[in-house]
Chain A
């Protein structure tokens, strides 16, 4: 089975593709119904951020292993403007656009692991994981 899929994010349709690919791999890994929706929603939020705040980027979805555990790993990467103050961006309700400011803090809540790295002028990378329990 293909353990990795890479989706360019340049338009809204590709956000849908990304979360569908995420769902497919998550099913193969044995995640159940409500976990699938959790994973698909997290991918949707992060891919939407690429489109809204950085114009374009990519999402890479793969299987990840750690000792005896395994799960799904999502990396979203862009070369957009970056985020100056990550703590502020992670605050519930904070948005520089007219958003709800729920995407980043919400996604962190949904996933088991969430890491964001950003350099102003260079881009942003979000890495997140959900383990099979």
Chain B
């Protein structure tokens, strides 16, 4: 069964409808990876509300999808893990590394927006004071949404009063 994928601005939203087979998973991974490249998406939301079970296999596959998307330049947020499903995952010791989690779509979008805003601060810091020292090593030239000029405009609008935070954050992310 194919997983529908929706494009919303810079993000992709995939809604898993039922238990995923290996083939479904492979399809979803390739599909997302392809679209992340085509649309330059910076975030992917995977909605698993419909899953009544997340076992070791499902965890392993979700993890591999997220890791693959990370290499393609997108961050993954899993949405809608039910309380009883989360309870069992904890009992089994199943964890998802490098993946965000949110209770609903709205929270997931907020999560991605916050991340994006943080990245913009970082870019702004590099463009101003620290550009010469840090160089361009940490910037992502293949993301039009994060081009320096746009980053500046966004940061000027939203970030002025908190510009003091830009420096330590950029250190943290500039490793």
Contact = CB atoms under 8 A, between A and B. Distances in A.
Q: A and B: real partners?
A: yes
Interface of A: 11-13, 15-16, 19, 23, 33-34, 36-38, 40-41, 44-45, 48, 92, 99-100, 102-103, 106, 109-110
Given A15-B19, A33-B84, A102-B93, A41 B53 contact: yes
Contacts of A13: 21
B18 to A, nearest CB: 7
A71 to B, nearest CB: 18
Most chain B C-beta atoms within 10 Å of own C-beta, residue among A16, A34, A41: A41
29 contacts: A11-B21, A12-B23, A16-B18, A19-B52, A34-B83, A37-B82, A37-B87, A38-B88, A38-B91, A40-B53, A41-B88, A41-B92, A45-B56, A48-B56, A48-B57, A99-B56, A99-B57, A100-B56, A100-B59, A100-B60, A100-B94, A102-B56, A102-B92, A102-B93, A103-B56, A106-B91, A106-B94, A109-B91, A110-B92
B22 interface: yes
A44 B55 contact: yes
Interface in B1-57: 18-19, 21-23, 52-57
A43 to B, nearest CB: 9
Chain B: interface size category:
20 to 34
Interface of B: 18-19, 21-23, 52-57, 59-60, 82-85, 87-88, 91-94
B88 A92 contact: no
A37 B21 contact: no
Given A41-B88, A44-B55, 20 more contacts: A12-B19, A12-B21, A12-B22, A33-B84, A36-B84, A37-B82, A38-B84, A41-B53, A41-B55, A45-B56, A48-B55, A92-B93, A100-B59, A102-B94, A106-B56, A106-B92, A106-B94, A109-B92, A110-B88, A110-B92
Nearest to B60: A100
Contact of A19 (B21, B53, B93): B53
B56 A37 contact: no
A99 B18 CA distance: 22
B24 to A, nearest CB: 8
Nearest to B52: A40
